[in-house]
C-alpha cells in the first residue's frame, strides 16, 4: 500500500486508507469520527471572492460609527477602534489590546494572508513565501472573533436602550455581513486544494505523493506506530527519523511532533492560571457606573440579573451561559481530560474526544462580556450625567478566556487513545 493512499486522523492518529469523496461530501475517521476531508467544489474561487468582499466590509465597518447614544441633544457615537481607544485612555490597556487583536488585527491578518495565497494561484503563480503565509493564516484563524463581537453588540444595545435613545450606525450592519463573509471564506479555504494547486502550478507532485511506500500490519494502526508524523497545519504525512527531536514539515515548514511536547505540563500550567483568575473575574466589579443618582458596581452575575429583570431573558440566558457557565465548564472539562488521560484511563475514549471538540469550539464565545463592556464604556460618556468604566474583573475575565483557549490547544487528544493502543498491542503480543 502506498502512503499516498493513507491519511492520519489529527485527533486519534489512526492511519486509514483515503477514499474518493463526492462533491460536498465528508470523509470522517472510522474510530473517533473527526472530519478528515471535505470535498469543496470550487472552494478556492469562492474563498477568493469572499476574502475580497471581506476587505471592503472591513473598511466600511471600521470607518463608520457602529452605534450611538442620544441624551438631551448630546450624541455620542463610536467606531470599533474608537471604543478600543477609550479603553486604552482609561488605563485598561490589556482589555484594549485583547479587543483590538481579536476583532481587528487578527481578522485582518487572516483575510490578507488568504488573499496573499489565493490571488497568485488564481493566475497560476506560486505565492511568494507561501509556507509562512499559510502558517500565519492557520495561526490567526482561531482568534478572530467577529461573530462573538456581533452578539456582544446586540447585548450592549439592549442595555443601552434603557439609558438613552440608541442610534444604529452603518457599521453595525456591515459588521453583520462581515461575520457571514468571514465564516464563508474560512470554510471555503481548503488546505488540501491550496497545496494541490501549488503542486500543479509547480508542475510536480506534492510532497505526499513523492513519499515512499509502506506496509501496514493488520488491526488498529496509528501513524506513530509506522514512524509517520502528521502535520497539523497542512495535513502532510511525513516519516519521522529515529534520531530527530525537532521535525519540520517539508511542505509548510510547521513544527511536527509524534505528540505535542510537554502537553500535560503546559495544559496544567495554563489551566491552573485560569482557575486562579476565575475567582476575581466573578467576584470583583466588571464595570463602574457613575450617574446623577450615585455610583454603582456591577459584576458579571449582576449584569445577568439586570437583563433578566428588564425582560430580556433570552439575552440574560446567553450572557449567563457564555460568561459564567462556559468558562467554568471549560475548566472542568479540560481538567477531566487531563486527569483521565494522565491516569491512563481507557474509559470511553470517543466520548472524551468529543468533549475536547466541544471545548475547542465554545472557547471563543466567552469573550462576549468583554465586547459588551467595550461598547458600554465607549458610549456612556456623558460627563456629569453618566459614565461607565471597566473594572479589574474585566482583565481577569479576559485572562481566563485566553488561558483556557491556550490550555485546550496545548492538550493533545491523541494521548486519549494511547492507552487503548497499549491494550491492542498487549492483545497482539499474547496472540
Residues 363 and 350 in one domain: yes
What's the whole-number mean pLDDT along residues 235-264? 81
Helix (H, G, I), strand (E, B) or coil at 34: coil
Residue range 74-81: mean pLDDT, rounded: 81
Q: What is the span of the domain harbouring residue 135? A: 43-203+251-256
CA nearest to 394, candidates 282, 275, 272, 319: 282
Q: In Å, what is the CA distance from 297 to each residue of 94, 291, 301, 392?
A: 20, 12, 11, 11
Residues 67 and 198 in one domain: yes
Q: In terms of domains, do 246 and 308 share one?
A: no
| Judgement on whether residues 108 and 190 belong to the same structural domain of the protein | yes
Q: Does residue 84 share a domain with residue 17? A: no
pLDDT digits (tens, 9 = 90+) for 10-29: 888 888 887 888 887 888 98
Instruction: Tell me, yes or no, whether 56 and 182 share the same domain.
Output: yes
Q: Are residues 33 and 48 in the same domain?
A: no
Q: Are residues 172 and 64 in the same domain?
A: yes
pLDDT of residue 1: 37
Same domain, 62 and 13: no
- Answer with the one of 222, 250, 278 that is the final residue of a domain: 250
Give the CA distances from residue 223 to residues 220, 230, 420, in Å, rounded to whole numbers and listed in that order.
Answer: 10, 8, 15
As a whole-number percent, the residues of the chain with pLDDT over 90 amount to 29
Give yes or no: residues 290 and 222 share one domain.
Answer: no
CATH number at residue 344: 1.20.140
CB neighbours of residue 406 within 10 Å: 18
Same domain? 217 vs 339: no
Tell whether 272 and 376 lie within a shared domain: yes
Give percent of the chain with pLDDT exceeding 70: 87
The mean of the pLDDT values for the chain is: 83
Task: Mark which of 191, 225, 250 sits at the end of a domain.
Answer: 250
Using one digit for the tens of pLDDT, what is the confidence trace for 194-225? 988 898 888 755 444 444 345 555 556 888 88
Select the more confidently predicted residue: 345 or 133: 133
Structural domain tally of the chain?
Answer: 3
Question: Per-residue confidence at 403, pLDDT binned at 50, 70, 90?
Answer: very high
Of 113, 115, 150, 119, residue with least CA distance to 133 = 113
Q: How many other CB atoms sit within 10 Å of the CB of residue 23?
A: 8
Mean pLDDT calculated for residue range 399-407? 94
Amino acid at each position: 500500500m502506498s502512503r499516498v493512499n493513507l491519511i492520519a486522523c489529527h485527533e486519534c492518529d489512526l492511519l486509514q486508507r483515503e477514499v474518493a469523496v463526492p462533491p460536498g461530501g465528508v470523509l470522517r475517521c472510522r474510530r473517533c469520527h473527526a472530519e478528515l476531508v471535505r470535498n469543496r467544489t470550487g472552494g478556492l474561487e469562492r474563498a477568493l471572492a469572499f476574502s475580497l468582499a471581506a476587505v471592503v466590509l472591513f473598511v466600511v465597518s471600521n470607518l463608520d460609527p457602529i452605534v450611538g447614544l442620544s441624551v438631551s441633544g448630546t450624541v455620542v457615537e463610536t467606531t470599533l477602534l474608537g471604543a478600543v481607544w477609550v479603553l486604552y485612555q482609561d488605563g485598561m490597556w490589556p482589555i484594549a489590546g485583547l479587543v483590538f487583536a481579536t476583532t481587528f488585527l487578527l481578522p485582518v491578518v487572516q483575510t490578507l494572508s488568504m488573499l496573499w495565497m489565493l490571488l497568485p494561484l488564481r493566475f497560476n503563480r506560486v505565492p511568494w513565501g507561501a509556507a509562512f503565509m499559510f502558517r500565519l493564516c492557520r495561526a490567526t484563524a482561531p482568534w478572530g472573533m467577529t461573530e462573538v463581537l456581533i452578539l456582544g453588540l446586540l447585548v450592549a444595545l439592549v442595555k443601552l436602550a434603557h439609558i438613552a435613545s440608541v442610534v444604529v450606525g452603518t457599521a453595525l450592519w456591515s459588521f453583520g455581513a462581515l461575520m457571514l463573509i468571514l465564516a464563508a471564506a474560512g470554510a471555503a479555504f481548503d488546505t488540501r486544494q491550496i497545496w494541490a494547486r501549488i503542486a500543479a502550478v509547480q508542475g510536480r507532485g506534492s510532497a505526499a505523493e513523492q513519499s515512499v511506500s509502506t506496509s501496514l500490519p493488520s488491526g488498529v494502526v496509528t501513524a506513530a506506530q509506522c514512524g509517520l508524523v502528521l502535520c497539523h497545519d497542512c495535513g502532510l504525512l511525513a516519516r519521522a527519523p529515529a534520531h530527530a527531536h525537532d521535525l519540520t514539515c517539508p511542505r509548510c515548514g510547521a513544527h511536527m511532533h509524534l505528540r505535542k511536547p510537554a502537553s500535560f505540563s503546559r495544559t496544567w500550567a495554563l489551566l491552573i492560571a485560569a482557575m486562579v483568575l476565575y475567582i476575581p473575574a466573578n467576584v470583583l466589579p466588571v464595570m463602574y457606573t457613575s450617574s446623577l443618582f450615585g455610583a454603582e458596581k456591577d459584576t458579571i452575575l449582576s449584569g445577568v440579573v439586570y437583563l433578566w429583570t428588564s425582560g430580556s431573558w433570552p439575552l440574560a440566558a446567553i450572557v449567563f451561559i457564555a460568561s459564567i457557565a462556559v468558562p467554568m465548564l471549560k475548566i472542568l472539562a479540560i481538567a477531566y481530560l487531563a486527569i483521565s488521560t494522565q491516569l491512563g484511563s481507557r474509559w470511553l475514549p470517543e466520548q472524551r474526544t468529543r468533549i475536547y471538540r466541544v471545548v475547542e469550539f465554545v472557547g471563543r464565545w466567552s469573550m462576549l462580556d468583554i465586547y459588551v463592556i467595550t461598547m458600554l464604556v465607549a458610549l456612556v460618556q456623558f460627563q456629569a450625567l453618566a459614565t461607565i468604566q471597566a473594572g479589574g474583573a474585566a482583565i481577569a475575565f479576559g485572562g481566563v478566556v485566553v488561558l483556557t483557549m491556550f490550555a485546550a490547544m496545548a492538550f493533545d487528544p491523541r494521548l486519549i487513545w494511547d492507552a487503548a493502543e497499549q491494550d491492542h498491542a498487549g492483545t497482539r503480543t499474547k496472540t
